[in-house]
Amino acid sequence: LSYVVNLRNYIDRWDLECEFNNTDHRTDLNGVDRLIVRRGQVFTISLYLRSGNYQPGVGSLDLVAETGPQPSEQYGTRASFGLSADIDTSRWSAAVTGPPGDTLTLSICAAPDAPIGRYTLTLGASGQIEFILLYNPWCPDDAVYMDNEKSLEEYVLSQDGIIFRGSSKHPIATPWNFGQFESGILDICLRILDMNPKCLRNPGKDYSGRRNPIYVSRVLSAMVNCNDDKGVLLGRWTDDYEGGVSPMFWRGSVEILRNWDSQACQPVRYGQCWVFAAVACSISRALGIPCRVVTNYFSAHDTNGNLVIERYINENGEPIQSRDMIWNYHCWLESWMTRPDLKSEFNGWQASDPTPQEKSEGVYCCGPIPVRAIKEGDLMFKYDALFVFSEVNADVVTFRKNKDGSTSQVYSTAVVGQKISTKSVGSDAREDITHLYKYPEGSDEEREAFKKANHQNKLLHQQQNPGLHVTIKVTSDMSKGCDFDVFAVVTNNTQSEKKCRLLFGSCAVSYSGVTGGNCGFKDLLNVELPPGGERRVALRLNYSKYGALLTEDNLIRLGALLLDYTTKESTLAVRNIVLENPEIKVRILGEPKVNRKLAAEITLQNTLPVQLDNCCFTIEGANLTGGCVISETLNSSVGPGEDAKVKIYFTPSHSGLRKLVVDFNSSKLSHVKGYRNVIIGK
C-alpha cells in the first residue's frame, strides 16, 4: 500500500467508535448506538484496510461532509477536505493519527462554526458514514463557549431542574424533568427545526443559519408555540382545557415532545409560560446551547410599547381587566452565546421568550436580546429589547373609575420586575439575578439607563406620598384548606387627625392576572386615625368560601383601598398570596444502583376539611423511569387528616444525581408537585 495514491479503494469497513466518541463529546446519555459529536472537537473512527499497510504521507483520502437537503459550499452546508499532517480544529479537517498498519485511526474535526444537524461524511468512493453534529460549549471557538465546568454541568448536561412559581413574597420551587437525553428526544428536536416555516420556505438558507445559535434560538422561540406554524404547544389561559390537559398536568418536557412528534406535529394542548420556557430549555440543551429558565415576579405585559401599565379599579378597589396586564410571575429562557452582531460586552446571557404574547417581525416570538442591553437601556438592539425591558421596568399607574364615569389617579407603590429568579448551579436553591436586569432602584445608573431607554414617564412620575399609608400583612400559616386572617395596616404619617374609608377585599386570581370570584370583603366607612396613629384591620378568609373559587395557581389577590375624606386622595395596596399545598414526602427503599429495581414510598397528608377521591400519584425522572411516566391509583378515599400512601417501583438506567418528580391528583386537590433527589451508584 506504500505505493497507493488513494486510500478510498482500500477501505474494507470501519468502526465509528460510538461509545468512545460519544463519551468524549459528552453525548453518551443520548445512547452509544450512533455517532453524536460536537463541533470544533476531534472524533476518531477506525478504518480497516483490505490489504497491505498504510504509510504516513503516501496515501490520500477525499472527504465530503454534507448536511441538509441542498448542501452547498456557499452556504457552508458542504465541506470538502483531504488528509492533513495534523488536525486543524478551526475548520473541517482530518488526519491519520494511529500507527502505520492495516487498521487506521482517522481523526476528524468539524469546524467550530459548522451548522448543527444530521450529516453524511463521504469517505472517497468507499461509502458514507452518518453522524449528528451539535453545538460545543466546551470549545473556545464555538459561539456558545462557556468557561465553567460546574455551569456546563447545570446548563447543558443536567436533565432536571427547578422552576420558580408562586409569588414574589413566597417563591415556590416546582421540579421539572427536562429529559433532553431521553430516547428519541434529540431526533424530535431536529424535526422541530425542520418544521419551522423558514426551513420549509428555503431549506438551504435555514440549514446554513443553524451554524448561528442566535438564529436557532429565535427559531425555537417561534416553534415552541404554535401560533404561526406547526409548533409544539398551544397556549390556554382560561379554566377550559377541553381537548387537552391543564398546563399544571405536565411534570416535564419528554411527554410533550413525544406527543407532538407522534401526532404528526399537531400542537400539544395546553401550555402556559413555565411550560413553554421549560420545553425550549430542553430543546436548547439537547442541541448544546447552555440555557436556564428564569422567573420574573410582577412581570408587565405592555401591549402598546409606551412602558406604562395603566391599571383600573372600581369604587370598591376591585380590579377592572384591561389589555395591559401585570402577571404575578412570568417565565422565559436565557441562553448563553456571543453576539458578534453587537459589541463584545453584550456576549453572555440572552433572553428569549417562547410564550406567544406579541408579534416580532410578524411572528409570535421574542428575542434573543442580551440581558446586559436590558440593564443598560439599549433598546435599539436585536431582538425585542423594548418588550423585555418593559417586563422588568414598566411604570405602573392606577386609576379609579367612579360611577359617574370620571377617573381619578390612585397612589400606589407597585413595582414590576421583582425577585428575578433561577435555579442555582449545583443546588436546588433560588438564585436572585435581578441585578443582571436592573440597577438598584433610585441609583444614578438606573437613571442613566432610563434616560437611554427614553423611559421619561418613570423618571418624571414621582408621586407625592399622601401621608396616609396602607400595607397588607399576612401570617405564615396560609395553607390550602385552612381558615386564616390577613391584615390591612393603616398608618397616619401626617400632623393632623384623619378620617377615612377602608375597602379591604380579596378575590381568586390566576398567575397571569385574570381575576375571579370574591373570597372576602370588608368596607369600613369611618376609620379615624390620630397623628402618627396606626390601625390594623383583619379580614377572615374561609376555605368554605375561597376553596371553590381558587384557580390551579392557588393565588388570592388582596387589595386595600384607603380614601381620605379630607383631601379626596386614594391610596391602594395590592398583594398576591399563594396558598401552600400539602407536602409530598418521598422515601427511597433499597440501595440506589444502576439497573436495580427500587421503590419510592410516597405519602401526602390530606390537610383539607373534605374527603379526597380518585387519588393518583405519578412519577417520572430522567434515567430513572425509562423515559416513561409511572402512575399508581389508590383504591380508597382519603379523609381529612389521613395519609394518601403508595409504593411505586422504578429501575435507574444511569448513575449520578437524579431528580424523581412526583405529582398528586384527586377530586379536590390537584397538581400537587414534589420531588426527591436520588444519588444512583454504579
Q: Which residues are annotated as a binding site for Ca(2+)?
A: 393, 395, 441, 446
> Dmax over Cα atoms in the chain, in whole Å?
107
For residue 353, indicate whether it is catalytic: yes
Q: Which candidate, 46, 40, 21, 120, places its Cα nearest to that of 77?
A: 120
What does the buried/exposed string (b/e) look like for 323-332 if buried means 16 or more CB atoms within 10 Å of the residue's CB?
ebbbbbbbbb
Tell me 9's DSSP state. G
Question: 199, 226, 302, 330: which is the annotated catalytic residue?
Answer: 330
What does the buried/exposed string (b/e) look like for 215-236 if buried means 16 or more CB atoms within 10 Å of the residue's CB?
bbbbbbbbbbbbbbbbbbbbbb
What is the chain's Cα-based Rg?
29
Could you tell me if 351 and 384 are in contact, meaning their C-beta atoms sit under 8 angstroms apart? no
Mutual angle of helices 185-194 and 213-223, in 10-degree steps: 90
Q: Are β-strands 498-509 and 616-620 bridged in parallel, bridged antiparallel, or unpaired? A: unpaired
The three-state (H, E, C) secondary structure of 467-522, written as one string:
CEEEEEEECCCCECCCCEEEEEEEEECCCCCEEEEEEEEEEEECCCCCEEEEEEEE
Using DSSP, state whether 545 is helix, strand or coil.
Answer: helix
Question: 226, 273, 281, 500: which is the annotated catalytic residue?
Answer: 273
The CB-side HSE value for 76 (13 A sphere, CA atoms) comes to 18
Q: How far apart are alpha carbons 198 and 210 in whole angstroms?
A: 11
Question: 206, 261, 353, 553: which is the annotated catalytic residue?
Answer: 353
The x, y and z cell numbers of residue 327, run together, are 402577571
Q: Are β-strands 598-605 and 643-650 bridged in parallel, bridged antiparallel, or unpaired? A: antiparallel
Q: How far apart are alpha carbons 235 and 512 in whole angstroms?
A: 12
Q: Which candidate, 463, 492, 464, places its Cα nearest to that of 564?
A: 492
The neighbouring-strand residues paired with 487 are 473, 538
Active site residues: 273, 330, 353
